[in-house]
Amino acid sequence: MLLLFTFLLVPGAGAATDSATCFGCHGSMEGDVKVEQEKYSKSVHGSFDCVTCHMAPKGDQHQGLGGAAPDKSVKELAASLAHKSTKDPIAQSACITCHPDLYEAYKKSVHGQNVITKKSTDGPVCTNCHGSPHYIQARPSAESKVHLFNVVESCGKCHEEKHMSEKYGFSPLVMERYLESFHGRKLKLGHAGAPSCASCHGSHDIKSAKDPSSPVGNLENKKKTCSECHSGATEKFVAAITHKPLHPIAHWSEIGLILLTVGTFIFIIIHVLLDIYADIRDRLFRKGGNH
């Protein structure tokens, strides 16, 4: 009888564990081991069994649980991600089983190089940009972390960090200058044609802007990238966007214009207030006078 029970609860090696088994615990646990079953089922991968990605869950509590044996490429990636993904590097690497082309692009990107080759903890793996794998949505969904209107925020998680800009040599104002630009403002207001970070810099295959192979890495590529929206973009045109701090000439022009604006405000406000005062005074004390 006991044997039968054990047999039912713990399926034998080779047989994939049913998701219901996992949710039996993880559906009601607290903290980051909790997975909301309903939300999970609505994600783009909601029909997957847990063990599709969590092929070999760690720990005694998971003994006998698991799915298909991870293939070689997943194992290799898991080994290279072990420094960054401590919980379940196999699951973290499982994306590549179905998305090998994106993995190939990512592996060569500045992000992938940093994580996989340089073994840095900086730089994103899939879930850093796409959000929790349990609730992942396709990019056209407004809930997707990489949706046109959300991706800037996702990039900003690292790219507005000062220590990141110092370490990797990008402009510390890259986010600020983008957000205040026409591109950033239009995107904020929901203009579907406005470019996000990824529109110009690429996504899975992203390169450092200092890398000549980046879509913004050299003059010719810049011209090509800008031309996608601004046909006929020239050398002088592509210089418009740098994400660098304001040039001193622009900075002092701005201050000049602000002084002019504030000066005019003060003058007209005083003028109008005095006018109101004189009007009231004349009506009260100089009846039949000037008004």
* Interacting residues toward other proteins by CB under 8 A: 179, 181-182, 184-186, 188-194, 230-237, 239-242, 246-250, 253-254, 257-258, 260-261, 264-265, 268-269, 271-272, 274-279, 281, 283, 289-291
Nearer to other proteins, 108 or 186 (CB): 186
Instruction: Report in angstroms how near the CB of residue 103 gets to other proteins at its nearest.
Output: 35
Characterise 60 by phi-psi region: left (phi > 0), alpha (psi -120 to 50), beta (else). alpha
Separation CA 45–CA 39 (nearest Å): 11
Q: 58 or 271: whose CB is closer to other proteins? A: 271
- Minimum distance, C-beta of residue 147 to other proteins, in the bound complex (Å): 15
Q: Which amino acid is at 1?
A: M
Q: Are 71 and 97 in contact (CB under 8 A)?
A: yes
- Judged by CB, which is closer to other proteins: 82, or 179? 179
Residue 88 gets which letter from DSSP? Answer: -
Least Å distance between CB 151 and other proteins? 17
**Nearest approach, Cβ of residue 261 and other proteins (Å):** 4
Distances (CA, A) of 65 to 28, 51, 52, 133, 195: 18, 8, 12, 20, 45
Residue closer to other proteins by CB (options 138, 276) is 276
Nearest to 127 by CA among 84, 156, 164, 165: 84
CA nearest to 114, candidates 154, 156, 84: 84
By C-beta, is 98 or 278 nearer to other proteins? 278
Distance in Å, CB of 40 to other proteins, minimum: 30
Please state, in angstroms and rounded to a whole number, the distance separating the CA atoms of residues 140 and 169. Answer: 32
- Nearest Cα neighbor of 197 from 186, 185, 212, 184 is 184
